Amino acid sequence: MRYLIDSADVEAIRKTISFYPVAGVTTNPSIVAKSGKDLKTVLTEVRSVIGPQRMLHVQVLALRAEDMSEEAKRIRDFCGENTYVKIPVTEEGFAAIQKVSAAGIPVTATAIFTPQQALMAAVAGAKFAAPYVNRLDNIASGGVNVAAEAHRLLQMHGMDCEVLAASFKTVEQIHQVIMAGVSCVTIQPEFFAKLTSHPLTDTAVADFVSQGKRYYNL
Ligand code: E4P
């Protein structure tokens, strides 16, 4: 199981990493815009906070395959190893996924709304396929089920590609996707605590401290 942070908020990333086991960070153009900083500044800051080992997923903005491929190379050169270039699954995107993957740059296929898009991206060479769970739920199209079916398809056909489920707005969506077998999710920083905090845990710890403190003398 791998958890990634879906954010370019450097302080939130730093804080989340200090507490939780984080495998990497995902961004997209909207997330970069929300930071109010230019792309190079954002990527430099995020990479320096997460270090060279964690994954960094960065999306292309170009629309044509050739331009996407050039942009992918620039992203990879700038961000270094363990950088995945996110490419949307348009027709031009599928062409770019093949080119970029063949050039040895790992690709995350993004803006996925159907299981077949995920499978086609995998066949094209993508290492991750990112279905947008909440955006599907917003149009009553069963985001969890799409992610689950994409996961099953990739497994069934022995693809060297994993579902990286994205676009979450509730803990229940995250839980259901993981229960369906998806073992890679990207979530906003606040979800790490929402997934794991419980008042009974805090009560249990408070009780242990008050009852044990007179006896603990190691
Ligand atoms: C992931 O990398 C996606 O770009 C992201 O999760 C989309 O999330 P949103 O639907 O909240 O914009």
Question: How far separated are the first and last CA of the chain, in Å rounded?
Answer: 36
In whole angstroms, give the CA distance from residue 116 to residue 120: 6
CB under 8 Å to 204, separation ≥6 — which residues?
A: none
Residue 56: phi, psi to the nearest 5? -125, 120
**pLDDT score recorded for residue 163:** 98
Q: Which atom of ligand 1 is nearest to the CA of 27?
A: 2
State pTM to two decimals.
Answer: 0.97
Residue nearest to atom 12 of ligand 1 (CA): 167
pLDDT computed for residue 65 by the predictor: 98
φ, ψ of residue 91 to 5 degrees: the values are -60, -45
- Digitized pLDDT (tens) for each residue of the chain, 218 residues in all: 999 999 999 999 999 999 999 999 999 999 999 999 999 999 999 999 999 999 999 999 999 999 999 999 999 999 999 999 999 999 999 999 999 999 999 999 999 999 999 999 999 999 999 999 999 999 999 999 999 999 999 999 999 999 999 999 999 999 999 999 999 999 999 999 999 999 999 999 999 999 999 999 99
Predicted pLDDT at 166: 98
User: pLDDT value at position 215?
Assistant: 98
**Ligand 1 centre from 166 Cα, in Å?**
6
Q: 166: which residues sit within 8 A by CB, 6+ positions away?
A: 6, 26, 110, 130, 131, 132, 133, 185, 186
Q: Which residues of the chain form beta strands (DSSP E)? A: 2-6, 24-26, 55-59, 83-88, 107-112, 128-131, 162-163, 184-187
